[in-house]
Amino acid sequence: MSPANPGYQAPAVTVSSSLPKRKADKTVLIVPVVSGGDDDGRATVVANPFLDAEAVGEIEVALESLGAKGGPDQVTRVVAPSLPVGSVIAIGLGKPREDWPSDLIRRAAGVAARSLNGTEAAITTLSDIDLEAAVEGLILGAYRFSDFRSDKTAPKDKGLRDITALVADTKGKAKAQAQRATNIATAVATARDLVNTPPSHLFPDEFAKRAKALGEAAGLDVEVLDDKTLAKEGYGGVVGVGKGSSRPPRLVRLAHRGAKNKKSKKVALVGKGITFDTGGISIKPAANMHHMTSDMGGAAAVIATVVLAAKQKLPIDVIATVPMAENMPSATAQRPGDVLTQYGGITVEVLNTDAEGRLILADAIVRACEDDPDYLIETSTLTGAQTVALGARTPGVMGSDEFRDRVAALSQEVGENAWPMPLPDELKDDLKSTVADLANVSGSRYAGMLVAGTYLREFVADGIAWAHIDVAAPAYNSGGPWGYTGKGGTGVPTRTMFAVLEDIAQKG
């Protein structure tokens, strides 16, 4: 990703109603298979109009000889001589169903894509079940990040560059659906690229430059506030967190102006952009601190989402406010016990400098509310307590009850699986300070995710429906690859936020 060529470059996607007529030995055909209904449980090819009986027979005989059962995510590579491709990847879907969940197809496509091993062109019949899920899964499963590898360890091939999605009817909305899926997957992959870029190369000023390049390429209005402007205008949270670093903070504003009339809704997006988090003076343990390269995952997702909203020409206004800082210990760093003034005037006693995300987010939330949005969505890798409560793959959603539940439901529909969480009123008492309006942490070890949400709630203007999505673990996969998710940045919750924006555009 560079200013001249911003964003992830996705594979080319073609929609077709038939297999190629000429033999393409370097092309792989991906077909879904299910567990057979007979006693031996043999894998059978999911019915489709693209393969004749001879080809189906070749695939199923080969699968039987290899003992393939068609279980979920089981990958088996075979050869079918009658087909115009070099090989066939059979991807298991499990037991047959009448209705296939989109995320099951998305995951299957991702698993298949991860098994391609250097193949640059793939054709799939998964798209005949769910076109958009298949395209998204293939692009995201094929995602790579090798920008910092030398020739010694870099992949020798270009990875998957061409996808042909087979569908029975190409005359309807298929091409538009494929393009929408490509745009969504590209946005997720762009967020992944930002998260995976190491902090040596992605610091606040560079992050702001990349956000600006992405925004301008998509036709967004872009504003970048530097450290001097932030100090002058009273962004005490962003300045306070960033003053320990030699690389000063920034705040970026990206606006998609898509509203068609006065009835069109306006949505504010806010994302935490801590380009690296040592914890500051309240320094983190050394073990696994390198994962804090992902502490700007919320900002990356917000930037990718507002760019996607512009590409999809959503008929609403979407304005992103993205604070960026590096949290470092130094002679100039803020100390535990310091008091700062957030943008808007609320004073905060900083009891723990490692609770820095809420400080920069509070500034951004107040600024975002000055635009008088109908809805506000904020996302961040905010608390380790999210991981304790919900694990590595389930974001927690807090906020206005009705909007919180709407966001969580849409997240579950798109496969990011956020879960609604409460904000009990009594938690506000835990944020009392003896010297300032608020403390940035409570004295209790319990309900850390909810306490952070309670803190942020204090800065949301009255009358604005809002949701806070904590993606502390879901934004970064530190384990092995699964489905369409590899190691490193995941791009979560880009698809959730875009689904919410589309839903608001359609329903208000």
In the predicted structure, residue 37 carries a pLDDT above the cut 80: no
Indicate if 140 and 278 belong to the same structural domain. no
Range of the domain at 283: 185-507
Indicate if 294 and 161 belong to the same structural domain. no
Instruction: Give which of 328, 144, 343 is closest to 235, Cα–Cα.
Output: 343
Residue 282 belongs to some domain of the structure? yes
User: Residue 468, SS3?
Assistant: strand
Residue 1 belongs to some domain of the structure? no
Answer with the one of 102, 132, 167 that is the final residue of a domain.
167
Indicate if 97 and 215 belong to the same structural domain. no
In the predicted structure, residue 2 carries a pLDDT above the cut 60: no
Mean pLDDT, residues 209-233 taken together: 98
- pLDDT value of position 111: 98
Calculate what percentage of the chain has a pLDDT beyond 70: 98
Indicate if 159 and 216 belong to the same structural domain. no
Q: Which residues lie below 8 Å from residue 289, measured CB to CB, with a gap of 6+?
A: 278
Residue identified by tokens 């000063």 is 248
Mean pLDDT, residues 172-192 taken together: 96
pLDDT (tens digit, 9 = 90+) per residue, 381-437?
999 999 999 999 999 999 999 999 999 999 999 999 999 999 999 999 999 999 999
pLDDT (tens digit, 9 = 90+) per residue, 21-35?
998 889 999 999 999
In the predicted structure, residue 3 carries a pLDDT above the cut 80: no
Mean pLDDT, residues 482-490 taken together: 97
In the predicted structure, residue 36 carries a pLDDT above the cut 90: no
Which position among 247, 266, 272, 358 bears the catalytic label? 358
Query: Are the beta carbons of 455 and 369 closer than 8 angstroms?
Result: no
- pLDDT value of position 170: 79
Indicate if 218 and 308 belong to the same structural domain. yes
Distances 180 to 54, 301, 340, 378 between C-alpha atoms, Å = 35, 17, 44, 24
- Please give the DSSP secondary-structure letter assigned to residue 252: E
Q: Which amino acid is at 32?
A: P
Indicate if 212 and 342 belong to the same structural domain. yes
Indicate if 68 and 192 belong to the same structural domain. no
Distances 207 to 1, 70, 371, 469 between C-alpha atoms, Å = 11, 44, 24, 21
Residue 303 belongs to some domain of the structure? yes
- Among the ranges given (151-165, 384-398, 451-465), the one the predictor scored with the smallest mean pLDDT: 151-165
- pLDDT value of position 25: 87
- pLDDT value of position 7: 82
Q: What is the CATH number of the domain that holds 395?
A: 3.40.630.10
In the predicted structure, residue 320 carries a pLDDT above the cut 60: yes
Residue 21 belongs to some domain of the structure? yes
In the predicted structure, residue 1 carries a pLDDT above the cut 70: no
Query: Are the beta carbons of 238 and 360 closer than 8 angstroms?
Result: yes
With bands split at pLDDT 50, 70 and 90, how would you rate the model's confidence at 39? Answer: low
Residue identified by tokens 């939330």 is 365
Which position among 144, 209, 284, 428 bears the catalytic label? 284
Please count the structural domains in the chain: 2
Residue 137 belongs to some domain of the structure? yes
- pLDDT value of position 273: 98
Residue 5 belongs to some domain of the structure? no
With bands split at pLDDT 50, 70 and 90, how would you rate the model's confidence at 153? Answer: confident
- Please give the DSSP secondary-structure letter assigned to residue 485: B
Indicate if 218 and 335 belong to the same structural domain. yes
d(CA 376, CA 362): 13
- pLDDT value of position 195: 98
Q: What is the CATH number of the domain that holds 76?
A: 3.40.220.10
Indicate if 222 and 261 belong to the same structural domain. yes
In the predicted structure, residue 244 carries a pLDDT above the cut 70: yes
22 as an active site residue: the answer is no
- pLDDT value of position 163: 98
Mean pLDDT, residues 40-58 taken together: 93
CA angle 210, 216, 221 (to 5 degrees): 115
Phi, psi of 55 (to 5 degrees): -65, -45
250 as an active site residue: the answer is no
Indicate if 446 and 354 belong to the same structural domain. yes
Indicate if 189 and 162 belong to the same structural domain. no
Query: Are the beta carbons of 336 and 352 closer than 8 angstroms?
Result: yes
Q: At what angle do helices 494-507 and 174-196 cross, to 10 degrees?
A: 140
d(CA 125, CA 166): 5
- pLDDT value of position 92: 97
Residue 264 belongs to some domain of the structure? yes
Residue 3 belongs to some domain of the structure? no
User: Residue 173, SS3?
Assistant: coil
Mean pLDDT, residues 71-97 taken together: 96
Answer with the one of 108, 139, 167 that is the final residue of a domain.
167
- pLDDT value of position 151: 84
- pLDDT value of position 304: 98
- pLDDT value of position 384: 94
Indicate if 108 and 249 belong to the same structural domain. no
CB atoms within 10 A of CB 78: 18
